[in-house]
Structure 1
């Protein structure tokens, strides 16, 4: 019984009537229900009674690929056997046996491609094998298989890998154009390239190389190619390809999306190199050179005096303006050495010199730029934190959104003084959250109370207040109310 097309209650009732008839030949009657998860709820309920008390001669075999869709009352009355997908190696070995039995000469690489395309189903693999034999005769080659199944040759991916490593954008775009000219779909190309990079990652470790589902003759080729690139490049490439695959259907210009993906892949190693150089230069600029110490012996006083020589650093100092009055102090601060004896005898001067040393340390702050949309998203996230514990703060934050004025300053316009008090009470927590969320340590905001909505102007709420307001504008409304004897409900 095919449950996909016979999934109604009447079909199951007919089966229940048929089950009562004992077998004419043999001891048992075997009923196979394929795609049993396609049965309706009513059909499951009608079948449940028979399954609870089946006749002694009846055996039911329920086949499905989605066991979770079957109701628990059915599953609890069945003995479950889970069949896994057949491995690529087993399918390839069986196809090789069939080829020898039928007198067909087949390349091992071609049989592996058929086994991969079958996705664990031997019946599908045999069907594909039969089609290719009909297409190419009794001599099956790797080229015949990939042409018949419309599969990209791995040689294209090898050429693209070389272009990515050498940052050759032109070659990668020309290879992609050649692939499109051969009639291949761009999304299938992205999927194949993703599988190729996945196989290269698998080849990186001897423990995972068994997960590589290619012909034995190609395993060494893949292993050699994986040694040409590091894991960082492979991880970034898979991430870029996955993003392209997800956004492919939604893109209006699909070819441009794939070409941009190829350009990004070419730039991965170059951008990593530039970032490494930038980080190394930044680390050098903030690293202070060591302070050398010299010890001199005073001959006349026979006292040992330690002199500390301060070596200038590469730290960029902020510009400072000095007046003529403190010019002498500046000269003192610029001296390259001083005596510890003088340092102990003149504590005030040592303080000034210690300040000079502290000024040489540059404080690095996050100054990440952000848009008003990112600010509002962070603000809404902040408001959700107050939803449960402080409802008044939550209502105030959600009803008043911050803005960025022309001077790049954040402003929060409130409607009354009460809201301002609530915001100022939590301002420290708000600023800390926004700085962390926006990755900018300079984030701050100012509150502005809209004077029109403040206590200086009365807000109209009731019907009587509304009528009195309109009556001041048009006094004839009062006569109209008296004439028709109108009143408020």
Structure 2
């Protein structure tokens, strides 16, 4: 029986033109050979299975070929080419640095470099996986790599360029190999299938090429595996899915349709079917997240072109992307990411997966806009109030609030008032102190809140006033004086003290002044403004508006400007001593004679 040769070896390129997907590398090398501008050391770096070692062998064979073509290709018939193809060449040496990474191995290589080639023009040394060399071996190799003999050429290959010393990189001509596009791999697999008399569906070759993730060697290995799996030398898409254990993209399309329709029953049944086929939940959630990402790409023609798939599959993604919103896709991807992170640590992974999918299922209900509320103005006419106010226009648009009748308010001559319990009296017919309303954050005078927060707070303020009065529409504001508002202010403060809420009582025990309908409260700093706004501003304001029957009342906090004092404050013992010694000089003499010092 003839020995089987895997496709990766059987169809390994032997000329530059047969290398797949690395035209920028092969063109440069051919031009260097034709112009005789060869470097003394090359470094080929890139991911696995993209042709690094293959190009190194083709370069070694071509520069020693006796009958080079005008295109810079080896003839393949001369004695040098024949000996290379039969692995009997004495001028081309391959070294695996993964197993020969010591200083002694490099010294042995340096000893061989001293002798010129017996045939051919160059001695070529191909060192594969060069990043595996030890630091001592790299240092021993530096001098030879920098000044090799004219007949010696070194070709280094690695998948991890960052592990190589910078001193080695500076002595090499570096070539970066790219991942091979799936279209190029599919064409290469199709040509191999034709040579091997294998019937292959284009979708099957496309699936293998995409699964290989840019590595042609991996694609060829999967190709051989699926050919062996088939019994009639036919590659079918369904058989490739089953053999490579890949979840068909149709499942993700169907699942997304069910999620958009909020059909949670169909979602759970589809998940059960997928699990019965032996797919791992973590693999499924990762694939769903990738599917959602591709749907996001398909929303824009520019990003749609970045998707590595056939035009037919792109059309399916574009069609489904039109049924989903960007907010839905982003939120669903976020839920999938959280599920992926917590899946392994969950005690019940299946329940964790189902819960995440149900969250995605009802995302559309969250994103539906609320119905616009309807309010009535003073004349009984129905108006639509704006329900959705964005951050951008909240600072400029006016809220739809009920029209209020403005009533002039008399301003009392008294400029200010300070609450003092022992001096202030409350009329006997005053109302009993109500229990304080639960506090809520209000607008800060420092102006640090965002525009959105301002609108939300104003809406809450209006709602609170409406609840207190039953209906603010058409209500008439009554006039009041400073004496009236002072009486209510003292009543509220005494209610706080009666409830043993000393902090709120202290906040209110400050000078007040009435300007129009705005009550100005004097404070010392910004911190007191913040504390007052967060603790009691809204509940005090609501009580004043309710008791005085005027909803134009507002509270503003003003910082007192303190006058600078020339009086010096004595803090330390030395300050006290200096102050007393100025008044009583005898203290200085007493301190010196008796050897006294400050008491700390």
Partner deviation per Cα, 1:166-197 (whole Å, 9 max, x = no partner): 22222222211211110111111112112211
Structure 1 residue 288 and structure 2 residue 400: aligned? yes
Q: 8 Å contact 2:404–2:475 — kept in the other structure?
A: no
The 1:129–1:320 alpha-carbon spacing in structure 2 relative to 1, beyond 3 Å, is closer
Which structure has more relative contact order (CA 8 Å, sep 6+)? It is: 2
Q: CA deviation at 1:51?
A: 0.8
The 1:280–1:172 alpha-carbon spacing in structure 2 relative to 1, beyond 3 Å, is farther
Pick from 330, 333, 338 the counterpart of residue 235 of structure 1: 330
How far apart in 2 are the matches of 1:204 and 1:20? 63
2:173 equivalent in structure 1: 79
How far apart in 2 are the matches of 1:81 and 1:90? 20
Q: Secondary structure at the match of 1:277?
A: coil
How far apart in 2 are the matches of 1:212 and 1:15? 47
2:267 equivalent in structure 1: 172
Q: 8 Å contact 2:226–2:235 — kept in the other structure?
A: yes
Q: 8 Å contact 1:37–1:69 — kept in the other structure?
A: yes
How far apart in 1 are the matches of 2:535 and 2:262? 38
Q: 8 Å contact 1:288–1:315 — kept in the other structure?
A: no
Q: Secondary structure at the match of 1:77?
A: coil
Partner deviation per Cα, 1:350-388 (whole Å, 9 max, x = no partner): 999xx9xxxxxxxxxxxxxxxxxxxxxxxxxxxxxxxxx
State how many pairs are aligned: 328
Q: What value does the CA root-mean-square deviation take over the aligned residues?
A: 3.8
Which is higher, the Rg of structure 1 or of structure 2?
Answer: 2
The 1:195–1:279 alpha-carbon spacing in structure 2 relative to 1, beyond 3 Å, is farther
Structure 1 residue 32 and structure 2 residue 126: aligned? yes
Q: Secondary structure at the match of 1:183?
A: coil
Q: Secondary structure at the match of 2:127?
A: strand
Pick from 47, 51, 60 the counterpart of residue 154 of structure 2: 60
TM-score (norm: length of structure 2): 0.49
2:339 equivalent in structure 1: 244
The 1:168–1:207 alpha-carbon spacing in structure 2 relative to 1, beyond 3 Å, is same
Structure 1 residue 161 and structure 2 residue 231: aligned? no
Q: CA deviation at 1:284?
A: 4.4
| 5+ residue gaps, structure 1 | 294-312, 322-332, 337-347, 356-406, 411-425, 445-489
4+ residue stretches of structure 1 with deviation over 4 A? 278-286, 289-293, 313-316, 318-321, 348-352, 426-432, 440-444
The 1:26–1:260 alpha-carbon spacing in structure 2 relative to 1, beyond 3 Å, is same
How far apart in 2 are the matches of 1:260 and 1:29? 65
How far apart in 2 are the matches of 1:21 and 1:257? 68
Q: CA deviation at 1:431?
A: 9.9
How far apart in 1 are the matches of 2:529 and 2:97? 62
Q: 8 Å contact 1:237–1:265 — kept in the other structure?
A: yes
Q: CA deviation at 1:60?
A: 0.9
Greater per-residue helix proportion: 1
1:96 equivalent in structure 2: 190
Q: CA deviation at 1:233?
A: 0.9
The 1:442–1:249 alpha-carbon spacing in structure 2 relative to 1, beyond 3 Å, is farther
1:145 equivalent in structure 2: 240
1:43 equivalent in structure 2: 137
